[in-house]
Structures are given as structure tokens and as C-alpha cells.
Amino acid sequence: MNRYSIFTLARNALGGHRGWQAAWRSPEPKRRYDVVIVGGGGHGLATAYYLAREHGITNVAVLEKGWIGGGNTGRNTTIVRSNYLWDEATHLYEKSLKLWEGLSQELNYNVMFSQRGVLNLGHTLQDMRDIERRVNANRLNGVDGEVLTTVQVKAMVPIINDSAHARYPILGASLQRRGGTARHDAVAWGFARGADSRGVDIIQNCEVTGIRRDGGRVTGVDTSRGFIEADRVGVVAAGHCGVLASMAGIRLPIESHPLQALVSEPIKPVLDTVVMSNAVHGYISQADKGDLVIGAGIDAYVGYGQRGSFSTIEGTLAAIVELFPTFSRVRMNRQWAGIVDVSPDACPIIGLTPVKGLYFNCGWGTGGFKATPGSGWVFAHTIARGVPHELNASFSLERFATGRLIDEHGAAAVAH
Amino acid sequence: MTSGHRLAEGGRIDRLKPLAFTFNGRRYGGFAGDTLASALLASGVTLVARSWKYHRPRGVVGAGVEEPNAIVQLESGAFSVPNARATEVSLYEGLTARSVNCWPGPEIDFMALVQLFSGLMPAGFYYKTFMWPRRLWKKYEHYIRKASGLGEAPAVADASTYDKMNAYCDVLVAGAGPAGLAAALAAGRSGARVIVADEQAEFGGSLLSLGSAPLPRIGGRAAGHWLDAALRELRAMPNVRMLPRSTVFGYHDANYLTIAERRHDHLPLGERAGCRERIWRVRARRVVLATGAIERPLVFGNNDRPGIMLASAASTYVNRYGVRLASRAVVFTNNDSAYGSALDLYHAGIEVAAIVDSRRSPGGEVVQKVRDASIEIIGGSVVVDTRGRRHLSAVRVVQMDGERLTGRPRHIECGLLAMSGGWSPVVHLHAQSGARPRFDVARACFVPGEAIQGERSAGACNGTFDLESCMGEGAAAGAQAAALSGFVARATKPPAVEASAPKAQPLQPLWLVPSPRGVSRGPRQFVDFQNDVSASDIALAAREGYRSIEHVKRYTALGFGTDQGKLGNINGMAILARELGQEISATGTTTFRPNYTPVTFGAIAGRDVGELFEPVRTTALHAWHEERGAVFENVGQWKRPRYFPRDGESMHEAVRRECLAARNGVAIMDASTLGKIDIQGPDAATFLDLVYTNAWRKLAAGRCRYGIMLDENGMVMDDGVTTRLAENRYLMTTTTGGAARVLAWMERWLQTEWPNLKVYNTSVTDHYATAAIVGPRSREVLSAVCSDIDLSAAAFPFMSCRQGAVAGAAARVMRISFSGELAYEVNVPANEARHVWDALLAAGAANGITPYGTEAMHVLRAEKGYIIVGQDTDGSVTPADLGMEWLVSKDKDFIGRRSLLRPDTARDDRKQLVGLLSEDPSVVIPEGSQLVDDASASASAPVPMLGHVTSSYESPALGRSIALALVKAGRRRTGEMLLAPLRDGRRIRARIVSPVFLDPEGTRQNA
Amino acid sequence: MLMIACPWCGPREQTEFAYGGEAHIARPADPDAVDDAQWADYLFMRTNPKGCHREQWNHAFGCRRWFNVERDTLSYRITSVYKPGERPAEPAA
């Protein structure tokens, strides 16, 4: 594997950059692997990477039906934070954030993790109570967090609409300075390169069409490129997890919905932090290239079409213009959608299934990108040891039967 | 101001209407009918921009939406538009624009120093570096960000307004070139409702750029005359709506298309009035796509110098705008269409030094015409490199044998290189509709595939490039669309076209011109001008394993610019295919996503900003509250008075006064925002039994009862008092924010799960206004304005309802209390609210009746331990958690009951509602504080948390602070001391107590 | 953007409707007769198919009535609309 640095870059420049090797191989699938990971997004590639890196399991294939990072990894708005409300979620996302902090060096691939801070705006008195509650919990959990006044928000984001006469005036915000954004594609590519260099086979254009079982044990997967034997199969397929679960006769508490995002034309730096507003339904950051990256709402209906409703875009841009009146004349360049796997409590399901050797990692909904390294880390552990790590033990499928939900959105969704 | 760059005659500009404009601080002149780009070219300004990454000098390449280089900041202040394309900007008097992303300007740009390091900046270089040392990434990134971006967001708020239009039509025609006009005429004549939209100010498309000679004739007349007649006919049809300056930018499901109509930006600033842009949301039965084609540039060394442009653009500038682009030109092509451009230049008096044609022996009629004009044709040759510092000065031409360059290079001096690599049909909308364009090898372009929705492509966007066939296809598509919409389209023969450009010879695909020194070492061969992506970048990506076109796009930024790769993408795909040894069809296209061209945020937001962002709901007494100087709070969509400060009073003082009035005298609150649902029908009681946790059958008429409702997961979702008005009629109240949700939810259960129940729900929230009269003197006050209800405790007990007249208005009076005081809630028709309210205030004046707001309400209810759903609950709280087991019936089923039996939901150590009293009674624990026990208070993170403070106030009645909290196994811990660690380092000690702080026996409310 | 033919009002824009999730999930007649896993299945587990999906919609900004839609979740094409208690029309082919 070529080492990446300014020195190798300079050396290769002399040769017209003809000396670079492929970042990952494109091997033919073997007949058998110790572990097959279904889904070549960030989570799947991270899982393979940590299987090799942390657990010494290298006879691993990552099967991707399209191109790696082509699903939600390459379609999200790249926000990274760990300031969740409930302890279980906070610890999981904080593990991930810690991994993010050293990820470029760990992978020798610049994933451009940029800790520019994440602001969650409060627009009502109840928003502010919830912010206080969450930030206090974060800090006691060892996660950084601050509560800002409107004046402090304005100082950080001078272009924000701080008018007290706004329809929903900004009353304050929470701030996680360690949060920020990363370059989404680079995360997939960096993990792919790291996993590949440790022996993992990354197999693109390979769609899983069946999950074979024998006596309640998984034995392998049928794919568009033939049967591949494995007695451990980890499925990390986001919006398509339901399709795969049905191949194994498993029912999941998941619905797949389109989630849209959009970018403006590139403009000079004007917004240095990530700004999120649940009440006004908008979240926005500015990419290094200059585009404003805006997350739109989720469409209510089940959809696998990677496209959503124009009305959702309309609502989102109304919120953005309401929060940032000077963006009104900026122009929207492009929109797209991912398919997000939404669970009833807005928390993921990471763990064992009724089928031995078959593991699922899904239900990340709209928030999976930030969890990429952490998700891979705990899922690798779960697959390698056959039992969940304590960080993901609470995120079991059983919680839906016992009632032990980790209700991240319930906690934000009830008005008064 | 006809400089040497403007032709003396010809074109569609109006030489009698000169216009002055400013570009990069210098004043220039142009004419009505110009675009900013044509006016600049006609003023001799060719260096208009610097490229994004390497800051190379750039000029105008195209003449329309495909333009990658000529990006400007248009105007300033409230009229500023970032990233406007000079080729799309209509010139107007006083226009001001400047180049973006260069300093101080495009002529001299200090950022161009970066070119020295361009060798270190191949595709994706940033993934390979800036990693060490780790802490410096923020610095690196700061400069990367500063160097990125094009224009600037305006610094002041937008003064313009934007509108939405909804439209339904039988046939939507996208594009008003010859094919689109033929389609619109055919469909319009059938009587079908037609909308025809075109992005340009003038309809006509390619017909607008025809040269003065030789002109094609359509239907026996000059093309221009045919166009005028066609437009006249369309304008005369009442069933046809013509939308110029309107871009169909999105094709969504079920033939829903979105159009951005620009109404202002071509006008001088002072003349702009009304709405700037409108978004049309169109449902079309059928769609005819006539979106044309975009010429492809050729990819050769230093193909990005100012002075190199598309051949079709050169024709447009000469023919339509009368621009004398240069005195000497070279044409470089692989197909016949550029020969027409050469003739256009020739007829405009521009010397055409040569046509460099990659085809070995070009022949045919048009070639002959060029020969007749004594223009040299250099067949089997290519331009491999160019010269010129800030403007093209010469091209280097080499013979090509297959992929090999042979022979001695030849330098030809020229100020214009008109290039044509063939044409790319604009299949964007077709692809957005869900269809898949396919690669047509013969025509060397992507053409529409099988339609998925009700659309059909016609003309150049269908890969049909000769005028007669375009018009034929357009007419046929228009007639078919009308017929499929149920109209009888008369079969009109499309007009015969006597073409000036006769049958073309086949094009020779030329995706990448061989480089004398190899792609990686030779001069940069640009594929995507705006993002500075060259052929070597694509080769590098392929070499490094980024083999999917999507990977290449993301790794190199190919097609990510504001032009969305309209020029570069197809060349890029073909170059990648070559690198991978694949067919172009195997490499495929990237996804075509909306928007076709960028659309203003404000236009998509429309009117839904400012006070219309979400409708404000106010009560019938709102004006009174405003008169009284109320400070308002947003609760759901409602504005509710939070408190009523008197002169100089702080909120604290006002709330204290309001609370004491309610406890000691009488106070009055507008409670109209609480949701009110009128529930009727023989099965109403059965239904209430299902939606509430407690039992309703035995509630007597005229009595009220408090209820909580759960979601099916067993968690509290709303609460309120419901009154049985009659045997089969109830009036339910809900929380202010929950009213709509509860009604919709109950309707859903009724209609989908229990359709057999005869129950009818009606929202009456807005129909009644509610005044809560609270305090020991409330009976006195009410009795002064209500004589027909016996208000005595015996006749009108707590939790009952009476009907009567209050201040002459028909009223329902409930004796219920959210404060623990003797209290009455008077419900009157909203129209009589003010009158009744005034009467109550007058009646209470002697007793100092005090209006109070939500803040005092919160204090009063907290003193009694009454919850607010959404504040003291959070969607994870059961009735048992709230200590409300007494409210949960064991004798019936209800929504959510089964969930309460699950092991984790039934646990007795869940978080439970408790009261908290801080050790220091003067300290109010901040709401949202987390609670820990003594043992873990000094532990390092993660510190185990026991719960949090949900409500916390200073209680004037108790003379100390009180709080409510949700605490793990809280009731068992009653008496224990907990700590609230604050962010400022303070720790507040507080004891767990009963959540009922005042009058637990309820003596006051029963008085 | 869907165009939905409300069984009572006729075709209307998607923005007039509210989505209600998978249809034909009957509430257990006797909730006490099912175990926790079966209750969880009713509460949370969903078919979530890529393809034909029967789902509930409400004409929220119209007649406010609930009804069922059969829709392809990939193409978003609606193949059938029917009232509560009815079954969808059998596909023609």
C-alpha cells in the first residue's frame, strides 16, 4: 500500500502521478470466507476494517451490490456529534466521535474530520429545558457540551436570524465544539483501503440474493456472483436491511424512508459551524468546497426510490431562509435522497438475530453517518466474539418485546 | 459604441438602445438584446474569470446554461446574485457585475501563484495530505475553505418576494426551440391545455442563432418569419400558456414538474416590482421534452484559454449578438456542424484560417461550401496544444493516425478557436423522470431510453439534429400528447424545411485528443473547466481503483460545479471507459438529479417565510392581551400570554403577583387554546374507555373527569378534563399543542380499527373561548355576572359542569381547577369572548381580579403536583411513573394497556415523578438539571445519573422554591437527599418529597 | 410527488394527505392472549417491502377519511386504492 503524505505526493508528482497503486483491489470472490459483511457502505467497511485490525479476522469479504459508499454514506449531510440524550446512545456515539478524532491518521487517509462545532437551536421554552437537560447529561457522561444564549449564538453565526420577532425566535442553543463534519466519501474509501491492505476482499457489483441457513445456523449467502460460504454473516445494509432480513425469515421493526438533502452552489465561507434546528426543521453546514449542505426532512411514506417529495424540499428551504434570510438569493444546485432505515425509537439495532451466526446492524435512521467508525467497531466485536460489546448490548432486537426502548425521538416529539 | 468587436449589422440586438454596464469596476456598453457575456465579448473582454483550483485565465466557452467559466457576482446588497452565468444574464441599463474567486481581478490574480504547485494538486490530493500534524488540520482547512467557493452570499436580507403557482395541463412542452414550438402548435391546435416553457427570454431556441446567410426556409418562408408567425399563433390560443425565462428544472413522480420563472432579473434595479421569481408546480397529463442539445467541447492540451469556445456558441455570438469575436479563427471539429459555424464566421468577416477536422477526408455538401469559401480544411488532424498568456494566440495542429500523432506540428495563429466534439442531447429531464438514457454508438451520444412516465422527447434532445426532422418529431409528439390526453389532433403535416445544412456526414468520436507527451505529462487537457478536472485526473482515479463513474465523479469533482457537468460529463465518462477498456455504455452516466439549472432558495421557500413561516394562532382575546402589555410565549402554533407585567415589573415580580392573586383573591386566565373536541354518538363512552386509561361509562351527565391517554406503546401522550354534557355527548379537552394530533389519532382508531363504533368527533377549539376564574373569590366574581346557575358548593360541586348565561352569553361553566383553587372555567362562543371577559374583569375589579399568564399557571399547577405533558413527561413515561396508577383501570382494555405489562415497562424502579425541595429554600434548581446521589457526585465521568428536574419554580404561596423531577425509583427514595451538579460547578442539594406541595387534601378546590 | 385518488374525493395532490404506515395490521382482539413477542410484532414489526406495499393514508386536508393504498415502494406507482375493510383489486396480469 502506498503511504500517503506530502512527501509521497511530491515524489509522485515528478512521475506525473503514474506511480500510485489502487487504493483497494477488485478481487474475484472466494468460495468461502470466515466472515461475510453484506453492505459496502461506511459501516460495513468499518466493520471489516476493525475485524481485521482489532480481532485479527482477515478472511473477510465485504459484498456491495453497487459501488462502495454509494448508499447513505455518500448521500448524507456528514454531521458528526455525540450529544445524545440517553446514556446508551451517548456512550455509543461518543465512542464513535473518539474514533473520528484520530481517524485520518489511523487510516492514513484524510477524511477531513473538521470539529467546527454543532449548534442545536432552541426556539421554545421547552426546547431550552430539553437543551439544558441534554447538555447536563452529556457533561456528566464526559461529553463536551455548552448552552449558549441567543447573543452567543449570534456571535458564533453572525448571519443567523436572531430577531426576537421571528416566528420562532432563537432562544439559545446547545453547542458541542467537538462535533462537526467529515468528507463522507473519504470515510468509505479510507476504511476500504485500510481493510483491503489487511487482506479484506472488497467485492463491488455483487448483490446478495439469499441468505442460506441450515438448522437455524447461517451457512452463506447467494449472490449475483454465485454462492459464498460463511458461517458468520453481518448485514449492514441500511435502507435495504428489511429486504435482507426477509431473506432470512426475520421481521424487523424498521421502515425504509426517503431522506432528502440538497446543496447550494459553492459560495465563499460564510457559515463556520453546523446549525441544526429541530423545531424549524432545518440543518445546514458549509462544505470545504463552499456548498451549503442542507438536510431536508424525511418523507413519511415507505420508499426505496432514492427520491422524495418536492414539498419536503420546499419546507426545508423555507426553514433555512427563515433562519438565514441572507441565503434567500443563494441558489440550490442539486438534490438527492438516501433510503434511511427508521426504527421505532430512533436508535439502531446492533446485535444477534434468531439465526445463529447472522448479525444485523441497522435502524440508524437519519443519524448513521456520525456513528460510522463506532458502529463498525462494536459490530466487529459482536461478530468476532459472538456477543455484543457493552456499548451495543442495549441496542438489541429484544428491547422491542421487553419495552426497554431508548427513545431518542420520543423524548423530543411530544408537545405540551 | 461599436468597437471593433461589434458587427455593423445583423443579429437580434437593438443597436438603437445602447445600455451601459460595469464589469470589474470598469464601464462598458452593450445593446438591448445582449447578454452580459455577449456584451463583454463585444467590448473585447475575453478574460472574464479564473478557474476554481488553479486560477487559470478563463473566458466564455458557451452561450447558455452550459457555461462553466463566466460566473459572476451580479449586483450587490439586497439585489446581489452569487454565481450568475454571464451567458444567461440579460443586459440591462446600469448592470454591475464582477468576477468571482480571483484577487484583485481576473487579469491579475495573485491566487494564480497556486499554479506553481499544481503538480502537487492532482485529483484527490487532499485525501493524501494535510494529516500531519493532526492539530494543524484546522489551519489547513481554513485556507482550503478560503480558497474555495465562487461567489458570495448576499450580506443583507433579500428584499424580493417569491410566489408559487399550481397548474394542471394536458401537455407540458419543455423547450421552445423548433421542436418544442412544433409540439406546442400541434397540441394547442387540438384544444388541449398547453404550457410551453423556455429558459430564454425569447422563444425560438436554435432559430434565434441562425446566420444571415444561408438561412433555412420553413414552410416556404424564411425561418425568422415562420418563428414570428408561430409565436403569433400560439399567443392567440387561449388554451396555451407561454412561459419565457422559465426553466423546467425538475421532473418528479406522476408527471409533476417544477418550473422556475424569472420575472425580474432582466430589468434595471429601479424597475423591479412585485415578485421576483415564481415556482410553477405543474401536473401534466403528458410531457413533450424538447430541451435541445449541448455541444461538446474537445479535450486537448490547454483547451481552456480565453478565446476557445464551442463552435455553436461562436455562431450564436456572431449571428444573434453581432459580436466580431476575433479577426482570425480556427475551427476544430470531428463533425459537420462546426462547418456551419465556420461559414457563420466567414460571412461575418472573420478570417477562418483553417478547419482542423479529425476525420481523414471530410466530404459532402457543407464541406464543399466551406471549400468554396476558400477556407483551408486540414483533415485527419487535431489541435494538441494552444498558446497565449491571457488570450489564445495560436494553436498547434498535428496529424493523427488512429491514436498516433504523426508529422510535423503546424502552428496557426488565431484569436478564436471554435471547437465541436459533437452534440449531447439534454436528456436530464427524461432521466429525472425515472427513465434511463442509453448510449447510441452510431450518433456517439446518450439518447432517451424507454419512457417510464408520460413523456416523449422530440428534436435534438432525442438525438435528432437536422431541423426538418426536429420539427417533424415535435409536431408528432405534440399531436400524440394531445391525443393521449383525449383531444383530437388534426394531422397537420409539419412544415417543410429547405435546409441550409444538408445531410451530415457521420461524426468521428473523439473523446480525448492524444497528447504528444502522454496524458499524465503533457499540458493539461481539461474535461471539466469549472472544477479544473483534466484527463490525467480521470486516468489517475481509474489507476487508483476509483472505477465506478460515481467514484470518479466524487474523487475528481467532475461535474460537481454549478454547470453540473453539462459540458464535461460525457467526455469524462468516455475517457474513463477508455482507461478501463470498457464500452461507454458499460461505464454509464452518473445520475441526473434535479435541478437542471440552479434555482433560488427564496423561490423554493416561496411565501412561507417570516410571519407566514407557520400561521400564528391567536385567541379571541388576543387584542386584549396586547393592550394589557402581555409578554407572549409560543405554545404549539399559539401565542399565549406568559405574564402581564405592570410598569417596571420584572417577570419574576409579575408572576409572583399573579400567583398570589390566584391563591389569595381572584385571578383570571385565557384558557382558550386548550384543545376542545366535541364527541357524540351512542358509543362515545365505549370509545372514551378505549382512549383513556380510566373508566367513563359511569360518569354522570354534568360531571367532569380528568383522563390521560397513552400511545399504544403505553407512554403518556396527552391529558385533560372531559365533561359528559349529555348521555351521548362529551366535551374533551386536550393540551394546547396536542389538540390536532389527538383528534387525528382518535379518528384513525375509529375509522380503521373500530369502524363499528358510532362516534363523531368534532374539533371545537376555535368555537369557544375559555376564561378560567381562579381563587377563593372566584365564586363571588362569577355570581355577579351569572344569575341562573346556583354556584353554591352543594349545588355545583367540584368536577361538574353547568350551563347558563354569563354576562348574557350562553355559557358552559366547568368547576375544574388546574391550580388547586376554587375555580371555574367559563366557555362561551368565541364571538362573545371579549364581552364576557370584560364583564368578568369589571365584576372582579373590586376584588382586584388579576389576569395571569402561562408562567403563573405553571407555578400554581406545580405547587399541586399537576403535570404538564411534554414538560414533566417526555414520551417515555407511563401512568405508574407519574404515580397515577389510580387512574388506570384494571377492568377494561384501552390503548397502550398491554404494553404496560411488558417486563421493562412494568418495572417498579423506573423513573418516577417526585417533588424536590432544595436544602436552601431560596435556591431554584435550574430546569433540566441532572440529579445524582452523594456517592457518585464526585465520581469522574461517566457519572451515573438518577433523573432530571422537569419543572422548577419559586413558589410564592410556600415562600420557597419547589421542583418536580423524574427520578429512578424515586418514590422509594422519598426523604433522600440528591445533588444537582450545575455547569458552573455549583451543586444544589435537594430532598425528595411528595410532588404535591400544597393542600394535598384538596380543601381549597372543594371549597 | 404522488397523486392519490381518494376513494371519496377523487385524485388529489399528495400534500393533501397524511401517511399512516402499513395497512392490515389488526390489533389483537384480546391483547392479553398474546405474549410480549407477539405484541411487539403487532406494535413494531413491519413488512417494509421493496415493491408492493399496502398502506394507510388519510385525506387529512380534505375529507379526513382513512383508506388504503397499494403502492410500489420502488416506482412509487399506485396500483390500487380501496376503503377500510375492503381488499385491493386483484392485479390485472
Three-class SS string for B89-157? CECCCCEEEEECCCCECCCCEHHHHHHHHHHHCCCCHHHHCCCCCHHHHHHHHHHHHHHCCCECCCCCC
**Band of pLDDT at residue C55, cut at 50, 70 and 90:** very high
Of C19, C44, C71, the CB nearest to A300: C19
pLDDT for B491 equals 65
- Do residues B269 and B173 both lie within one domain? yes
- Does C75 contact A at CB distance below 8 Å? yes
Rounded to a whole number, what is the distance in Å from the CA of A236 to chain C's nearest CA?
16
C39 contacts B253? CB cut-off 8 A: no
One domain, residues B917 and B982:
yes
3-state secondary structure of B721: strand
Which residues on B lie below 8 Å from A332 (Cβ)?
595, 598-601, 604
> Hey, are the CB atoms on A321 and B602 less than 8 Å from each other?
yes
Q: Does the structure show a pLDDT above 70 at C93?
A: no
Residues B643 and B662 reside in one and the same domain: yes
Q: How far is A215 from chain B (nearest CA, A)?
A: 30
- Quote the minimal CA–CA distance from A54 to chain B in Å: 23
Q: C39 vs B902: CB contact, 8 Å cut-off?
A: yes
Nearest CA in chain B to C3: B254
Same domain, residue pair B791 and B666: yes
Inside any domain, residue B561: yes
Out of C14, C22, C45, the one facing A252 most closely (by C-beta) is C45
Beta-bridge partners for A61: A36, A201
Interface test with B, best of A120, A312, A347, A414 (most B CBs within 10 A): A414
Please judge whether A110 and B122 are an interchain contact, meaning their C-beta atoms are less than 8 angstroms apart: no
Banded pLDDT at B498 (limits 50, 70, 90)? confident
Query: Which CATH number is B78's domain given?
Result: 3.10.20.440
Domain that includes residue B702, residue range: 675-763
Nearest CA in chain A to B151: A267
Flag whether C73 is in a domain.
yes
The reply to whether B56 and B195 lie within a common domain is no
What domain count does chain B have? 7
| Cross-chain Cβ contact C3/B893 below 8 Å | no
Please report how many Cα atoms fall inside a 13 Å half-sphere around the Cα of residue B928, on the Cβ side: 21
Question: Residue C56 falls within a domain, yes or no?
Answer: yes
C56 touches chain B (CB under 8 A): yes
The pLDDT score that the predictor gives to residue B590 is 81
Residue B429 placed within a domain: yes
Tell whether the model's pLDDT for residue C92 goes beyond 50.
no
Q: Does a structural domain hold residue B242?
A: yes
Interface probe, candidates B252, B253, B753, B899, chain C, greatest C C-beta count within 10 A? B253
- Per-residue pLDDT tens over the stretch B430-474: 999 999 999 999 999 999 999 999 999 999 999 999 999 999 999
pLDDT digits (tens, 9 = 90+) for B977-1006: 999 999 999 999 999 999 999 999 999 999
Is the ipTM reported for this complex over the cut 0.95?
yes
Q: Which three cell numbers stand for residue B542?
A: 481509474
Helix axes A372-385, A184-197, angle to 10 degrees: 30
Q: Is residue C43 part of a domain?
A: no
C3 at interface of A, judged by CB pairs closer than 8 A: no
Spatial distance between the Cα atoms of C44 and B879, rounded to a whole number of angstroms:
21
For chain A, positions 231-250, list CB contacts with chain C under 8 A.
240, 242-243, 246
- What's the confidence (pLDDT) of residue B496? 84
Q: Do A332 and B595 touch (CB under 8 A)?
A: yes
Facing B942 at nearest CB: one of A74, A140, A331: A140
What pLDDT is attached to residue B489? Answer: 81
C61 interfacial to chain A (CB closer than 8 Å): no
Q: Which A positions 362-401 lie with beta carbon below 8 A of chain C? A: 400-401
Judgement on whether residues B128 and B42 belong to the same structural domain of the protein: yes
Disruptive mutation site among A256, A257, A304 for chain C (greatest number of C CBs within 10 Å): A304
Which residue type, as a one-letter code, is found at position B917?
L
| Beta carbons of B438 and B457 less than 8 angstroms apart | no
Number of structural domains chain C divides into? 1
Instruction: Give the mean pLDDT of B614-643.
Output: 96
Q: Report yes or no on C92 lying in a domain.
A: yes
Residue contact B593–A335, C-beta within 8 A: yes
Q: What's the pLDDT at B2? A: 45
C-alpha cell at B913: 415523578
Q: What is the pLDDT of residues B149-208, one digit of tens each?
A: 999 999 999 989 999 999 999 999 999 999 999 999 999 999 999 999 999 999 999 999
Residue B300 has pLDDT above 60, yes or no: yes
Task: Assign residue B734 the CATH number of its domain.
Answer: 3.30.70.1400
The whole-angstrom separation of Cα B660 and Cα B846 is: 16
Report which residue type is found at B148: S
Closest listed residue to residue B409, CA positions, set B401, B400, B398: B398
Query: Closest chain C residue to B281 measured between Cα atoms?
Result: C1
Q: What is the pLDDT of residue B1?
A: 39
The mean pLDDT value for B69-98 works out to 97
B144, B5: one domain = yes
pLDDT tens digits, B322-348: 999 999 999 999 999 999 999 999 999
Of C1, C31, C84, which has the smallest distance from its Cβ to B256's Cβ? C1
Mutate to test the interface with C, among B752, B761, B892 (most CBs of C within 10 A): B752
Pair B583, B667 in one domain = no
Looking at residue B948, which CATH number applies to its domain?
A: 2.40.30.110
Q: Do C75 and B712 touch (CB under 8 A)?
A: no
Query: CB-based contact (8 Å) between C66 and chain B?
Result: yes
pLDDT at B321 over 70: yes
The verdict on B349 and B244 lying in the same domain is no
CB proximity C77 to A under 8 Å: no
Concatenated DSSP letters of B885-914: GGGS-SSS--TTHHHHTSHHHH-TTSEEEE
A231: distance to nearest CA of chain C, Å?
26
Q: Which of residues 264-303 of A touch B (CB under 8 A)?
A: 264-270, 280, 286, 288-290
> Which among A17, A87, A121 is the top mutation candidate for probing chain B, defined by the most B β-carbons within 10 Å of its own β-carbon?
A17
Cβ contact C3–B256 (<8 Å): yes
CB B313 within 8 A of CB B399: no
Of A23, A131, A322, the CB nearest to B544: A23
Residues of chain A with C-beta less than 8 angstroms from the C-beta of B141: 112, 114, 288
Look at residue B316 and tell me if it is in a domain: yes
C42 in a domain, yes or no? no
With an 8 Å Cβ cutoff, is C84 touching chain B? yes
Residue B604 lies in a domain: no
Domain edge (last residue) among B739, B763, B787: B763
Residues B479 and B360 in one domain: no
In terms of residue numbers, what domain contains C83?
A: 1-6+15-25+49-93
Q: Are A294 and A263 in contact (CB under 8 A)?
A: yes
Phi, psi of B742 (to 5 degrees): -65, -45
Asked whether residue B307 falls in the same domain as residue B379, the answer is yes
| C61 domain residue, yes or no | yes
Q: Are A325 and B875 a contacting pair at CB < 8 A?
A: no
Report the percent of chain B where pLDDT is more than 70. 99
Closest Cα of chain A to B29: distance in Å?
A: 27
- Provide the residue type at B184 as one letter: A
pLDDT (0 to 100) of residue B907: 95
The reported pLDDT for the residue numbered B502 is: 59
Q: Is the Cβ of A353 closer than 8 Å to some Cβ of chain C? A: no
Please report all neighbours of C, defined by 3+ CB atom pairs within 8 A: A, B
Place of cell 447538555: A135
Residue B871 lies in a domain: no
**Final residue belonging to a domain, choices B803, B826, B860:** B860
Categorize the per-residue pLDDT at B938 as very low, low, confident or very high, splitting at 50, 70 and 90.
confident
Instruction: Using the 3D structure, point to which of B493, B512, B531 is the last residue of a domain.
Output: B512
Nearest to B350 by CA among B367, B331, B365, B369: B331
Decide if B899 is inside a domain: no
B112 and B226 assigned to the same domain: no
What mean pLDDT is reported for chain B? 95
CA distance C75 to chain A (A): 6
Per-residue pLDDT of chain A (416 residues; tens, 9 = 90+): 889 999 999 999 998 899 999 999 999 999 999 999 999 999 999 999 999 999 999 999 999 999 999 999 999 999 999 999 999 999 999 999 999 999 999 999 999 999 999 999 999 999 999 999 999 999 999 999 999 999 999 999 999 999 999 999 999 999 999 999 999 999 999 999 999 999 999 999 999 999 999 999 999 999 999 999 999 999 999 999 999 999 999 999 999 999 999 999 999 999 999 999 987 788 999 999 999 999 998 999 999 998 999 999 999 999 999 999 999 999 999 999 999 999 999 999 999 999 999 999 999 999 999 999 999 999 999 999 999 999 999 999 999 999 999 986 554 443 33
Chain A: closest CA distance from residue B598 (Å) = 4
Q: Which residues of C touch B753 (CB under 8 A)?
A: 26-27
Q: Cβ distance A339 to A304 under 8 Å? A: yes
Are the CB atoms for A406 and A86 separated by under 8 Å? yes
Check residue B503 and give its pLDDT.
65
Interchain pair A303, C76: CB under 8 A: yes
* Statement: residue B370 has pLDDT above 70: yes
CATH code, B387 = 3.50.50.60
CA distance B91 to B35: 5
- Decide the pairing of beta strands B823-829 and B809-815: antiparallel
Q: Report residue A279 as a C-alpha cell.
A: 423545531
Q: Are the beta carbons of C84 and B752 separated by less than 8 Å? A: yes
Q: Does A251 touch chain C (CB under 8 A)?
A: yes
Is B1000 a member of any domain? no
CATH classification at residue C78? 3.30.2270.10
